[in-house]
Amino acid sequence: MEYILLILLGIVAGTMGSLVGLGGGIITVPALLFFQKMGWLSQPLEHQNIVAISLMAIIFTAFASTLTNHKHGRIDMKSGLIFFLGAGPAVAIGAWAGMYVPEGIFYILFGMLMLFTTYLLSVRDRIKPLDINSDISRVFTCQGVTHRYSFNRYIAIAISALAGFIAGIFGVGGGSFYVPMMVILFKFPVHVATATSMFMILLATVVGSISHVMLGNVVLLYVLFVGLGAYLGGVIGPTLASRLSGRTILVILRLIIVVVAIQMILKGI
């Protein structure tokens, strides 16, 4: 029963995460904390273990999502690799820094991160792109439509580094920063930003997971079961994205995140 629960968690987190380009950690971490509280897990977990499990499971989601998005030609890999220059080293540093965050503070900060993510999901479609000084231009054709956009590599690397650091500490993908950065600052089309975000998350979570393995935080058996579900979710999410608007799913997701975030902040206090 325990392992079926973990697989189902992976499917839900992977589907929701890949659908909106977040990765799924925003669902996996609080869910595992809840499972731990209810006594549904046979092995006791510290919050560092949960962060490591979440981050490694995101690899499965991001890999499946990246394969699917690549088939549809949605990923701007050249831009994604530039952004990874900031995210890669930062996620490793974040994994190390997370070892020193007290549990109560972890709950409060993660709850605040969840509320911030919900806000970005709510306003993402209504925010107009900003005009900034750019030094890299892109002409990207996706599904027969040619898009033109540009970005400043230094701003992109700096924001990606912040997202990577947060991902390493909390076990999330970092997509709550990547997608708004690409859409709001650099005028990426939303579907290209979402797909490119998952590609960046794949690279960053591999680095972060290696760091957690070296720190001894990984519970491999739990990673495998959550990861199996996450892989399936990573296939389902992009498929739904090509067929559905996803608005109803996003409304439900935002409501769940808000309720869980408030509970985590209260627990931390």
Question: 164 falls in which pLDDT band (50, 70, 90)?
Answer: very high
Within the chain, where are the H helices? 2-20, 25-38, 47-71, 77-97, 103-123, 153-170, 175-180, 190-215, 220-241, 247-268
Residue reference for tokens 């046979």: 42
The two tokens of residue 171 are 């076990």
Instruction: Locate 136 and state its tokens.
Output: 């890299």
Question: Quick one: pLDDT band at residue 174, thresholds 50, 70, 90?
Answer: confident
SS3 139: strand
Express each pLDDT in 91-148 by its tens digit. Answer: 999 999 999 999 899 999 999 988 988 887 777 667 666 777 888 999 998 878 898 9
- The H or E element spanning position 148 is strand 145-151
Residues 6+ apart with CB under 8 A from 150: 134, 135, 136, 137, 138, 186, 187
State the pTM of this model: 0.86
For 192-216, give the DSSP string: HHHHHHHHHHHHHHHHHHHHHHHHT
> Residue 16's closest CA among 239, 249, 269, 217?
249
CA-based max dimension of the chain: 54
pLDDT tens readout for residues 25-77: 888 999 999 999 899 999 989 989 999 999 999 999 889 889 988 988 989 99
Instruction: Provide the CA 151 distance to its chain's centre, in angstroms.
Output: 22
